Amino acid sequence: MAHLLWFAKFFAISPAQGAETIVYLASSPDVATTTGQYYYKCVPTTLSRLARDDRSALLLWRARRGIGRHERKWCVKRIPQPVARYH
Protein backbone atom coordinates (compact mmCIF):
# COMPACT_ATOMS: atom_id res chain seq x y z
CA MET A 1 0.00 0.00 0.00
CA ALA A 2 2.86 2.38 0.78
CA HIS A 3 4.23 1.91 -2.75
CA LEU A 4 0.88 2.83 -4.26
CA LEU A 5 0.64 6.01 -2.18
CA TRP A 6 4.20 6.95 -3.08
CA PHE A 7 3.40 6.49 -6.78
CA ALA A 8 0.04 8.35 -6.57
CA LYS A 9 1.60 11.50 -5.11
CA PHE A 10 3.17 12.23 -8.50
CA PHE A 11 -0.28 12.53 -10.08
CA ALA A 12 -2.30 13.94 -7.18
CA ILE A 13 -3.21 17.57 -6.68
CA SER A 14 -3.99 19.40 -3.47
CA PRO A 15 -7.58 19.91 -2.32
CA ALA A 16 -7.20 23.64 -3.01
CA GLN A 17 -6.10 22.95 -6.59
CA GLY A 18 -8.97 20.49 -7.02
CA ALA A 19 -11.50 23.08 -5.85
CA GLU A 20 -10.11 25.97 -7.89
CA THR A 21 -12.37 25.55 -10.95
CA ILE A 22 -15.48 24.91 -8.85
CA VAL A 23 -14.84 28.04 -6.77
CA TYR A 24 -14.19 30.04 -9.94
CA LEU A 25 -17.46 28.88 -11.52
CA ALA A 26 -19.44 29.57 -8.35
CA SER A 27 -18.07 33.03 -7.71
CA SER A 28 -16.84 34.69 -10.90
CA PRO A 29 -19.11 37.20 -12.65
CA ASP A 30 -17.28 36.27 -15.89
CA VAL A 31 -19.23 32.99 -16.06
CA ALA A 32 -22.44 34.03 -14.29
CA THR A 33 -24.55 33.61 -17.43
CA THR A 34 -22.63 30.70 -18.95
CA THR A 35 -24.37 27.32 -19.09
CA GLY A 36 -23.68 23.96 -20.72
CA GLN A 37 -19.90 24.29 -20.77
CA TYR A 38 -17.26 21.89 -19.46
CA TYR A 39 -14.39 23.58 -17.62
CA TYR A 40 -10.90 22.30 -16.90
CA LYS A 41 -8.52 24.46 -14.89
CA CYS A 42 -10.90 27.44 -15.16
CA VAL A 43 -10.99 27.31 -18.96
CA PRO A 44 -13.91 26.10 -21.11
CA THR A 45 -12.84 22.88 -22.79
CA THR A 46 -14.31 20.38 -25.22
CA LEU A 47 -14.97 16.92 -23.83
CA SER A 48 -13.02 14.06 -25.37
CA ARG A 49 -14.77 11.82 -27.90
CA LEU A 50 -14.91 9.02 -25.33
CA ALA A 51 -16.51 11.30 -22.74
CA ARG A 52 -19.24 12.20 -25.28
CA ASP A 53 -19.95 8.56 -26.18
CA ASP A 54 -23.48 7.74 -25.01
CA ARG A 55 -23.01 3.98 -25.37
CA SER A 56 -19.96 3.99 -23.09
CA ALA A 57 -21.82 6.15 -20.56
CA LEU A 58 -24.73 3.71 -20.54
CA LEU A 59 -22.42 0.70 -20.10
CA LEU A 60 -20.59 2.42 -17.26
CA TRP A 61 -23.88 3.37 -15.59
CA ARG A 62 -25.17 -0.20 -15.84
CA ALA A 63 -21.93 -1.64 -14.48
CA ARG A 64 -21.89 0.81 -11.57
CA ARG A 65 -25.55 0.13 -10.83
CA GLY A 66 -24.72 -3.57 -10.48
CA ILE A 67 -21.84 -2.82 -8.13
CA GLY A 68 -24.11 -0.63 -6.02
CA ARG A 69 -26.56 -3.48 -5.52
CA HIS A 70 -23.72 -5.71 -4.41
CA GLU A 71 -22.46 -3.12 -1.92
CA ARG A 72 -25.88 -2.63 -0.38
CA LYS A 73 -26.42 -6.33 -0.03
CA TRP A 74 -23.09 -7.31 1.49
CA CYS A 75 -21.17 -4.27 2.71
CA VAL A 76 -23.65 -2.14 4.62
CA LYS A 77 -23.83 -2.94 8.29
CA ARG A 78 -27.42 -3.01 9.45
CA ILE A 79 -28.12 -1.40 12.79
CA PRO A 80 -30.99 -3.08 14.60
CA GLN A 81 -33.91 -0.77 15.24
CA PRO A 82 -35.36 -0.65 18.76
CA VAL A 83 -38.66 -2.42 19.15
CA ALA A 84 -41.53 -0.17 20.15
CA ARG A 85 -43.18 -1.43 23.32
CA TYR A 86 -46.60 -0.32 24.29
CA HIS A 87 -47.80 -0.67 27.87
Is there a single domain that holds both residue 18 and residue 36? yes
Residue 64 lies in a domain: yes
Domain count, the chain: 2
List the beta bridge partners of residue 38.
45
In a shared domain, residues 41 and 53: no
pTM for this predicted structure: 0.54
Q: Residue 19's domain spans which residues?
A: 14-46
Whether 19 and 41 map to the same domain: the answer is yes
Residues 26 and 39 occupy one common structural domain: yes
Q: Which helix (H) or strand (E) holds 34?
A: none
Same domain, 40 and 53: no
In a structure prediction context, what are the per-residue pLDDT tens digits for the chain, which is 87 residues long? 777 777 777 778 888 999 999 999 999 999 999 999 999 999 999 999 988 999 999 998 888 877 765 555 555 566 666 666 665
pLDDT for residue 46? 93
Alpha helices in the chain (DSSP H): 2-8, 15-27, 54-74
4 falls within a domain: no
